[in-house]
Chains A and B, each alone.
Chain A
Amino acid sequence: MNPRSRWYLEALSHAVLLLAVAFALYPVLWVVSLALSPSGTPSPHALPLPDAVSLDNARAVVGSTDQAGHWLFARQLLNSVVVSVATAVTSVVIATPAAFALARFRFVGERAGMRVLLATQMFPGVATAVPLYVILDTLRLLDTRAGLVLVYSTTALPFAVFQLRGAFEAIPRDLEEAAMVDGATRWQAFVKVVLPAARPAIAVTCLFAFMSAWNEFILAATFLSHEEAFTLPVALQRFVGEYNAAWGKFAAGAVIVSVPVMAIFYAVQRHLVGGLTAGSVKG
């Protein structure tokens, strides 16, 4: 290849990437500028730059209180954090041994199990909302964080199992066998060798479970009826209801809700390529 065509390709690559980056960033900047604009009403500008910078919207969102004067935003933030972290932990803790068994053992019911897992991904959640409502009601868990965690972590479970099964399959059997020869039980080999080796994939799986809980609002809106039990998405969605469009507040809330996920996402993102491919190659 001659240098000239190489220069030309390099420029083309950067052009394509810059275009894609613009596409990726534009809506984000638009939301940020909306969040910072003092009027709270969007102004029709092509360039997503606010007329003036003000933190009024953010203050209004963060400072929201209920009638008793409790700091509602803090409560809802806490709800979201607790629910999402608990969902991530619960679903991964439950999924890990099951995924390991599916990756390592041959057993009666394995194929049926995998089929059921796959089937759960195809059945739309709309039809399960009502039965879940009844189940949570029976367990007296409506309007509680525990109820949400229960529902979220079980919904996140099938995908977590798929992910982790792929990851475990990518880990050489030799490692656990070496541990067992070294004197470990199967469980010790799993905990001391397989789990540490699967750390990136586990982190990615945790991230997905966390995000699914952090972002969910339909079930949350169905199961929660008290404002102080709301998670942030439910609170946020109310800013842009049909009869009430406070775009400025929505945008400010959106930025506040997105920043933690993005932070965690970027902390884990270098594992994404490996973590996902391991799952998909064997998937």
Chain B
Amino acid sequence: MRALTALLALAGVLAPVTAMGQSLVLWHAYRDDERAALEQVVDAYRRAHPGATVEMLAVPFDAYASKLESAIPHGHGPDVFIDAHERVASFQSRRLIAPIATGDLGPFTAQYDGASLRAFTLDGALYALPMSIKCAALYVNPALTHGVVPATLEAIEALRGELPSDAYPLVYEAQNAYFHAPFAHAYGSGLLDDRGRYAFVGDGAERSVMHVRRLLRARVIPEEASGSLVSQLFLSGHAATAISGPWLAAELGDRVRYVVAPLPVITAAGGRPMEPYATVEGAMLSAYAHDTAAARELASFLTSTESARTRARVGHQVVSTEAAWSDPALASDPLLSTFRAAARTARPMPTHPRMRATWEPARQSLVKSLRGDRPVRDALAEGARRFADVTRPLPPRRDGTLALLALGVVALGLAFAGVREAREPDFRRDLKRSMPAYAWVTHAAIILALLVVAPLVIGAATSLYATQEGRAYYVGLANYVDILTARGGPLFATGSFYRVLAVTVLWTAVNLALHVGIGLALALVLSRPLLKMRALYRVLLILPWAVPSYVTALAWRGMFHRQFGAVNALITWAGGEAVSWFARFSTAFAANVATNAWLGFPFMMVVSIGALAGIPKDLYEAASVDGATAWQQFTKITVPMLRPSLGPSIAMGAVWTFNQFNVVFLVSGGEPDGETDILVSEAYRWAFTRQAQYGYAAAYAVLIFAILALATRRRNPEAA
């Protein structure tokens, strides 16, 4: 009875968190002021539509796209969501969104600004109601520029001579392709051409990168600036100018006096303007919306004149609803009008589905060439190769009959063998004897089969498929062939299976050596008889084990941060030069290893303490009577005696390390350019950040499994 009550109580706590009613769900990735503005607008909608419920969900920007792509087809996505126009083509091709209107778009042209509307028009249909337009602009701190707004990049460069050494003439995220695009545009290059071909190569691109490299060398811009460093430097008066989007304004508030201007021109590029990419954000309708009419009504409300004014006022958005600008307060707002002017000269972000695939290769090219460890031309060429890699043409559809036939034959063979075995009298007797045991394992076996083995098998089977436009089709072994032939490129190129495998093996070996080395050494010291404060040491030394591993990983990433990381602080304190940890393979790998060593040594230490305690003391006494030195005792007694008890733990540790995703993904994130990625994180990237190529990722997973199964074959538990 008590058990039943407990069970009911448990069921109560586990019940769904949200009762899914027929309410509208709205997703967005806004923060701070923009979010507040949107909340006000939605509140207004609720007041205007009593009885209607709107559920808002703020999804972190990093995860936004993948979340939408996985949730919408399963009917768990939003009814309405706010996203940028460059994704429309990709969403449309996957049939994730429904058109707002088809045919005559006349009524809309009067309401919204033309550029915004065009951004959402595809094959004559309108796929979103435009909400706001965003692009980068120049923030100027007049206190550091004698009140002047520089009109050319060269004018900004000239500020170097006047500013103190800890201040920069310009701050922006130079490694970010989005912010480099204006430079590339000024030099006549870009990221993607009209036909969806990678464009960040060639003369113009090269010259734009060379220019930024000069800025870096002259200390016009800081090294490796992140978004938070940009705002931090500008906020603290250590930057005369900054290139950023309207979101920076929201962060600055009125904590610093600044003015905003369109981006300057580059004299060295023939006086051409730095045209930023413009992104239009709009409200899109999910193709799976529960109530399309209500969803359209909400989208329309979000872009009404009144709503647009609220968003402009509270969220500082450059709204696309033309009528909103008739409000004199908005029209005269210097910030909004500047961004509005900047947007007019900006280039709309290309809408080609491949646009998403340009960011990472372009960023890697920038990182490498700005760091100067690769000639610019080579770095750009590598980027182009990476792009080709990620946007690889999907393998052709294959006929699955042959595979089904083979599967059938195998299944038949297994069934036949099973029947033959079942007829053996020995087997029957064994089976009868096994019956009591089955009462103890059946439940676990069923649960494991359904929730662990089945997903595994399905996951493995996925490796024979490719996904296009949200639909999977059979491709045979094409994914494996692609992986094992390094997609036709050099077998040992960055990102190739063999290169990543080599890194993974190195990673596993180094980590295991450190774990066992440190763990065993500490265990030996801790096992010394008569050691004082043993318990205290032990408690302190297992601390890393108790800390959640993602906290550890993120904390270490912070500690290896170039500017404020503790490791560089220690190095400079000791008189060394600060190291850019994630810039080179060797240091990035070392950072990962240091993190994982910290994470993993306590386990080996504890296991070793236990194993050492199991070695009879008289063995040592006998050996020392026989005249063995301490070292001989270690190699001739300790090591052989530890082997059977440590062996399984080491094998287990090797498997864990081989698949240690958290550390690699969170500490170095594969930097530089995926060189420190191991097989698991590589598989993860294919599945979740490279256009959802699940089949390809699954093939990686199966290969990982095969490697581990082969490597540990002789260590199966029955052997012990």
Contact = CB atoms under 8 A, between A and B. Distances in A.
Interface of A: 9-10, 13-14, 16-17, 20-21, 23-28, 30-31, 34, 41-46, 48, 67, 79, 82, 86, 94-95, 97-98, 100-102, 105-111, 113-135, 137, 140-146, 149-151, 154-155, 157-158, 161-162, 186, 211, 214-215, 217-218, 221-222, 225-229, 233, 236-238, 240-245, 247, 250-251, 254, 257-258, 261-262, 265-266, 269, 272-274, 276-277, 280-283
A228 B55 CA distance: 12
Given A46-B570, A86-B13, A142-B76, A282 B720 contact: yes
Chain B at the A interface: SS class:
helix
B381 interface: no
B436 interface: yes
Contacts of A265: 542, 545-546
A211 B717 CA distance: 25
Interface stretch (B252-260, B317-325, B701-709): B701-709
Interface in B28-57: 31, 39, 56-57
Per CB-CB distance, the 4 closest pairs between chain A and chain B, nearest first, are A277-B610, A107-B434, A127-B701, A105-B437
B4 interface: no
A154 B452 contact: yes
B556 A127 contact: no
B718 A114 contact: yes
A237 to B, nearest CB: 7
Contact of A25 (B540, B569, B679, B687): B540
A219 to B, nearest CB: 11
Given A27-B556, A128-B456, A143-B16, A225 B443 contact: no
Nearest to B554: A240
Interface stretch (B60-68, B102-110, B126-134, B400-408): B60-68
B541 A226 contact: no
B698 interface: yes
Contacts of B537: 17, 21
Contacts of A258: 546-548, 551
Contact of B227 (A108, A111, A245): A245
12 contacts: A13-B525, A24-B598, A44-B563, A110-B437, A126-B684, A157-B444, A227-B57, A228-B17, A276-B603, A276-B649, A277-B610, A277-B613
Nearest to A75: B17
Contacts of A254: 548, 551, 554-555
B622 interface: no
A46 to B, nearest CB: 4
A95 B437 CA distance: 14
Interface in B317-366: none
A73 B521 CA distance: 42
B459 A276 contact: no
B708 A276 contact: no
B18 A94 contact: no
B558 A34 contact: yes
B414 to A, nearest CB: 13
Contacts of A21: 537, 540-541
B564 A126 contact: no
Contact of A226 (B15, B18, B546): B18
Contacts of B540: 21, 24-25
A231 B453 CA distance: 26
Among B441, B611, B704, max chain A CB count under 10 A is at B441
B430 A108 contact: yes
A94 B456 CA distance: 20
Contact of B687 (A16, A130, A272): A130
Given A13-B531, A107-B437, A280 B648 contact: yes
Contacts, number: 352
A135 B458 CA distance: 11
Contacts of A128: 455-456, 458-459
A266 B74 CA distance: 42
A126 B680 contact: yes
Interface of B: 10, 13-18, 31, 39, 56-63, 67, 70-71, 74, 76, 226-228, 232, 427, 430-431, 433-434, 436-438, 440-441, 443-445, 447-448, 451-456, 458-460, 462-463, 518, 521-522, 525-526, 528, 530-532, 537, 539-552, 554-556, 558-559, 561, 563-566, 568-570, 572-573, 598, 602-603, 606-607, 609-611, 613-614, 644-646, 648-649, 652, 655, 659, 661, 679-680, 683-684, 687, 694, 697-698, 700-702, 704-705, 708-709, 712, 716-718, 720
A272 B39 CA distance: 50
Given A154-B451, A247-B558, A144 B456 contact: no
Contact of A31 (B555, B572, B645, B712): B555
A266 B13 CA distance: 27
B558 A42 contact: yes
B718 to A, nearest CB: 6
B193 to A, nearest CB: 27
Contact of A44 (B58, B552, B565, B708): B565
Which interface residue of A86, A94, A236, A237 has the most chain B CB atoms within 10 A?
Answer: A237
B229 to A, nearest CB: 9
A10 B531 CA distance: 7
A238 B61 CA distance: 9
B645 A277 contact: yes
Given A41-B232, A124-B704, A143-B17, 5 more contacts: A24-B543, A130-B459, A130-B687, A265-B546, A272-B606
Nearest to B436: A105
A102 B448 CA distance: 15
B564 A43 contact: yes
Nearest to A144: B16
Contacts of A143: 16-18, 76
Contacts of A14: 532
Contacts of A25: 540, 543
Nearest to B523: A273
Contacts of A161: 444
A269 B431 CA distance: 41
Contacts of B564: 41-44
Contacts of B568: 44
Contact of B456 (A26, A120, A134, A266): A120
Contacts of B705: 119, 122-124
Given A16-B521, A120-B453, A273-B610, A82 B13 contact: yes
A34 B59 CA distance: 26
A273 B606 contact: yes
A95 B564 CA distance: 46
Given A13-B525, A132-B455, A143-B76, A121 B655 contact: yes
A107 B62 contact: no
Given A124-B680, A127-B702, A280-B610, A100 B440 contact: yes
A145 to B, nearest CB: 5
Identify which of B452, B456, B609, B679 gathers the most chain A CB atoms within 10 Å of its CB: B452
Contact of A238 (B17, B60, B649): B60
A245 B228 contact: yes
Contacts of B522: 16-17, 20
B63 A221 contact: yes
B697 to A, nearest CB: 6
B16 A114 contact: no
Contacts of A101: 437, 440-441
A24 B566 contact: no
B718 A111 contact: yes
B404 to A, nearest CB: 20
Contacts of A106: 433-434, 437
A144 B15 contact: yes
A67 B56 contact: yes
A44 B437 CA distance: 61
Contact of A250 (B452, B547, B554, B702): B554
A227 B545 CA distance: 28
A167 to B, nearest CB: 13
A67 B655 contact: no
Of the candidates A16, A20, A129, the one having the most CB atoms from chain B within 10 angstroms of its own CB is A20
Contact of A274 (B17, B566, B610): B610
Given A25-B540, A241-B60, A229 B17 contact: yes
